[in-house]
Amino acid sequence: MTTVAVLDDYLHRADTFADWESLGPDVTVTFFHDPMGEEELASHLADADVLVLMRERSRFPRSLLQRLPNLRLVVTTGMRNASLDVDYLHERGVTFCGTGYAGQRGPGVSGTVEVAWALILSAVKRVGIEDRALRAGRWQTGFPGELAGATLGLIGLGNLGSQMVGPARAFGMDVIAWSANLTDERCAEVGVRRVELDELLRTADVVSIHLILGRRSRGLLGAAELARMKPTAVLVNTSRGPIVDEEALVAALRDGPIAAAGLDVYDTEPLPAGHPLLGLDRAILSPHLGYVSEPSFRLMYGQVVEDIDAFLAGSPIRVI
């Protein structure tokens, strides 16, 4: 008997998004819906042969993986998972496989870019603030901003960053960009102007982050960087929480210097009850929705089942 554990099925839908029964009668699949800490994970997964991870919702450091003696296969949705000790999996001989992901769903912009623009519009047009005011009996509490003629500063101009440019042009925005290795040739290809980070922070009306979390990007924007931004500027992060110093961001939203932030990602997810960001009107918050859609989940979980089936047949696919 092979035991499969499907983790972090927040919406209780993973069982409907793939043909798990096709794995056969010798495979038992258990779905876990709630976030768990290391001790809970170790207890619930002690007998698991296969782990199925939804992106980076749960952390699996070496200390936890060492407590899972039966583990033979880990499948992550997507082809990258920074919350997992991949080196240890390789050392131990545990097979590690991935899937396609939300950004590969076809023409148009990705779900992450859609969420980024939803946050930009909500912050600039004061949607969240005015919604709460209206429900409290107040009508028009401040002036919305305008995107026409404003400057969008993109930190990162890869696949997702470049998808931000088309909507920005449609709104009549100027677009500038920076990343550590960004070239003039890449900017010319996308149709934006390359600037240094300092200029981007000083001149952009909206700063949107589109970087992979790594050694160079962790803590990229701290108190000093946020202080360079315009007092009317909006910061949007749909990449990874730790790219921005969260404590510095809370202070910047509470006391200035920036006007608002639209956030889909956080240092700790789910965002803990009582977190300071939850009490700030100028923080527009969404619960890491960038890659969450029914078509994407059907794609990912369908390929998870394919990965497990291929592994059990002795010919693993999409090996990372």
> Any idea where the domains of the chain sit in the sequence?
2-104+294-312, 111-285
Grouping H, G, I as helix, E, B as strand and the rest as coil, residue 55 is coil
pLDDT tens string, the chain, 320 residues long: the values are 999 999 999 999 999 999 999 999 999 999 999 999 999 999 999 999 999 999 999 999 999 999 999 999 999 999 999 999 999 999 999 999 999 975 544 567 899 999 999 999 999 999 999 999 999 999 999 999 999 999 999 999 999 999 999 999 999 999 999 999 999 999 999 999 999 999 999 999 999 999 999 999 999 999 999 999 999 999 999 999 999 999 999 999 999 889 999 999 999 999 999 999 999 999 999 999 999 999 999 999 999 999 999 999 999 999 99
Phi, psi angles (nearest 5°) of residue 263: -125, 130
Q: Which residue has the tokens 């969420």?
A: 115
Predicted local confidence at residue 108, as pLDDT? 77
Is 110 exposed, middle or buried (CB count within 10 Å of its CB: 0-12, 13-18, 19+)? buried
2-104+294-312 carries CATH number 3.40.50.720: yes
End-to-end CA distance of the chain: 25
Residue 16 has φ and ψ, to the nearest 5°, of -95, -10
Query: Which residues contact residue 252 at a Cβ distance below 8 angstroms, ignoring those fewer than 6 apart?
Result: 223, 226, 227, 258, 261
The residue behind tokens 């108190």 is 223
Name the nearest CA neighbour of 210 among 132, 119, 143. 119
Residue with tokens 């709630």: 34
Catalytic residue list: 240, 269, 288
Record: fold of 111-285: Rossmann fold (3.40.50)
Q: 128-144 burial, b for 16+ CB within 10 Å, e for fewer?
A: bbbeebeeeeeeeeeee
Predicted local confidence at residue 143, as pLDDT: 96
Check for a shared fold between 2-104+294-312 and 111-285: yes
Closest Cα to residue 82, out of 273, 228, 248, 212? 212
| Tokens 């920074």, located at residue | 82
**In which residue are the tokens 């979980």 written?**
301
Task: Please report the sign of the dihedral spanned by the C-alpha atoms of residue 160, residue 166, residue 172, residue 175.
Answer: positive
